[in-house]
C-alpha cells in the first residue's frame, strides 16, 4: 500500500539541558517520514518558504521519501523555537512563526488521491478534513492533533476523529478532547466515536492502546540518553503506521497482534528519535536495530 503524509516541514530552534541547535530540520511530516522510511517511505505533502535549502530535499530523498509534494512558496519556512528543562516531557514554546504555512492549502495530484494510506499530521483540522475528502481510495487513515487545535477548533477535531481509523494523541490531549479525567474512560469515549483504535502516547511511560475489544499497554524502550524529545511523537506515529502498512494486506482487518507489534515498533523507532537533535537520532534507525529494541520491549513485559 502507498502512504501519503500531510503535515509540516519546518525549521526548529531547540534548547535542552544538553545543547542548543538553531535552524535545524523539524516539522511533524519530517519526523514521521524518516521514521517510516525503514519499512515504507511515504510521500510528503507540505509547504516551505524560499529560504528552505535544497540540501534537505536531497536528505529526504536519501531515505526514499517522495518530496514532489513539498511546495516552495514565497515567504519563510514555518519556524518553531522552544526549550526543555530537566523534565523533558514538557516543551516550552518561545516563538512560532507560521510563514508560508499560514496560507497552506495542500495540493494533491490525481495519483495522490488514489493512495491507500493517509496520515494527517498535526495541522489545522479544517485542512486535514479537506485533504481527507479528496481521497478516492483510502483504506487506512491515521490522525494526530494537539491541545491548541482541541481548544480552538474542538468541533473540527471531533469531525476528523470520526473519520479516522487510528487516532494518535498524548494523555493530556485525550483527557482534554473527551473532557474526562479518567484516561481510560476518555480514550473509550473517543474510540466509540468512530476510530478502530485510540493510541495514547505517554512519553517515557509508554503507550496505551484502546480498541473496541481490548485495552493494552506497551512500555517505552528504556533509553538512557535523551538529548532532544522534539518529534518523538511524530516518529512513533511514523514507525507505527509504517508497520501496519507493511504487515496488512489492502482491505484486510488489522488484527490485535499486528496492532500491538506496530505500537512496539513505533516505540522502538521513537527511542532513536530522542537520542539526537532534530532528525539525527531517528535517521539512525534501521530495520535491524529497530528489531533489536523491539525484542527488549517484549522482554520488559513478558512473564
Report pLDDT digits (tens) over 181-191. Answer: 999 999 999 99
Q: Is the pLDDT of residue 146 over 80?
A: yes
254 vs 241: CA distance, rounded Å: 11
Least confident of 57-66, 201-210, 243-252: 243-252
DSSP secondary structure letters along 174-188: HHHHHT-SSHHHHHH
Which tens digits make up the pLDDT trace of 209-237? 999 999 999 999 999 888 999 999 999 99
Hey, what's the torsion of the CAs at 86, 91, 97, 98, to 10 degrees? 150
Mean of the per-residue pLDDT values of the chain: 93
Which tens digits make up the pLDDT trace of 102-115? 888 998 999 999 99
The three cell numbers locating residue 21: 541547535
172 vs 169: CA distance, rounded Å: 8
- Strands (DSSP E) contained in 61-138 are 70-72, 79-83, 92-97, 117-120
The three cell numbers locating residue 167: 487516532
Read off the DSSP letter of residue 269. Answer: H
Q: Is the pLDDT of residue 128 over 80?
A: yes
103 vs 73: CA distance, rounded Å: 10
Give pLDDT, residue 250: 65
Percent of the chain's residues with pLDDT above 90: 80
Average pLDDT over residues 244-270: 89
Q: Can you list the domains of the chain with their CATH numbers?
A: 3-301 (3.40.1190.20)
Q: Are 78 and 98 in contact (CB under 8 A)?
A: yes
Average pLDDT over residues 87-91: 79
Q: Give the global pTM.
A: 0.94
Q: Which residues pair with 275 in a beta bridge?
A: none
Non-local (6+) Cβ contacts of 251 within 8 A are 139
pLDDT: which is higher, 254 or 197: 197
162 vs 142: CA distance, rounded Å: 11
Give pLDDT, residue 96: 87
33 vs 5: CA distance, rounded Å: 8
Phi, then psi, of 10 in degrees rounded to 5: -145, 175
The three cell numbers locating residue 97: 512563526
Q: Are 176 and 189 in contact (CB under 8 A)?
A: no
Residue 101 pLDDT class (50, 70, 90 cuts): confident
Give pLDDT, residue 253: 79
If one counts every other C-beta atom within 10 angstroms of the C-beta of residue 213, the result is: 6
Give pLDDT, residue 38: 96
Q: Say how many Å lie between the first and final Cα of the chain, rounded.
A: 35
Percent of the chain's residues with pLDDT above 70: 99
Q: Is the pLDDT of residue 251 over 70?
A: no
Q: Which residues pair with 48 in a beta bridge?
A: 72
Amino acid at each position: 500500500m502507498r502512504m501519503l503524509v500531510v503535515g509540516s516541514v519546518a525549521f526548529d530552534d531547540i534548547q535542552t539541558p544538553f545543547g542548543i541547535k538553531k535552524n535545524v530540520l523539524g516539522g511533524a511530516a519530517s519526523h514521521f517520514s524518516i521514521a517510516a522510511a525503514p519499512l515504507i517511505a511515504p510521500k510528503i505533502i507540505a509547504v516551505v518558504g524560499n529560504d528552505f535549502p535544497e540540501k534537505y530535499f536531497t536528505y529526504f530523498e536519501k531515505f526514499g521519501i517522495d518530496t514532489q509534494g513539498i511546495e516552495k512558496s514565497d515567504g519563510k519556512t514555518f519556524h518553531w523555537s522552544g526549550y526543555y528543562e530537566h523534565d523533558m516531557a514538557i516543551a516550552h514554546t518561545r516563538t512560532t512563526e507560521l510563514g508560508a504555512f499560514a496560507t497552506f492549502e495542500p495540493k494533491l495530484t490525481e495519483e495522490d488521491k488514489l493512495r491507500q494510506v493517509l496520515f494527517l499530521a498535526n495541522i489545522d483540522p479544517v485542512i486535514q478534513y479537506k485533504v481527507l475528502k479528496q481521497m478516492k481510495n483510502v483504506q487506512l487513515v491515521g490522525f494526530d492533533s494537539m491541545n491548541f487545535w482541541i481548544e480552538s477548533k474542538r468541533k473540527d477535531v471531533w469531525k476528523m476523529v470520526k473519520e479516522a481509523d487510528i487516532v494518535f494523541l498524548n494523555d493530556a490531549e485525550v483527557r482534554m478532547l473527551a473532557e474526562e479525567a479518567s484516561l481510560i474512560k476518555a480514550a473509550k469515549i473517543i474510540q466509540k466515536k468512530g476510530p478502530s483504535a485510540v493510541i495514547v502516547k505517554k512519553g517515557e511511560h509508554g503507550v496505551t492502546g484502546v480498541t473496541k475489544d481490548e485495552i493494552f499497554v506497551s512500555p517505552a524502550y528504556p533509553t538512557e540518553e535523551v538529548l532532544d524529545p522534539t518529534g518523538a511523537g511524530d516518529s512513533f506515529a511514523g514507525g507505527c503506521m509504517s508497520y501496519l502498512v507493511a504487515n496488512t494486506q489492502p482491505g484486510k482487518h488489522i488484527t490485535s497482534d499486528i496492532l500491538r507489534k506496530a505500537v512496539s515498533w513505533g516505540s522502538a523507532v521513537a527511542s532513536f528519535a530522542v537520542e539526537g537533535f532534530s532528525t539525527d537520532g531517528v535517521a539512525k534507525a534501521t530495520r535491524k536495530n529497530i528489531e533489536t529494541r523491539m525484542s527488549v520491549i517484549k522482554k520488559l513485559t513478558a512473564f
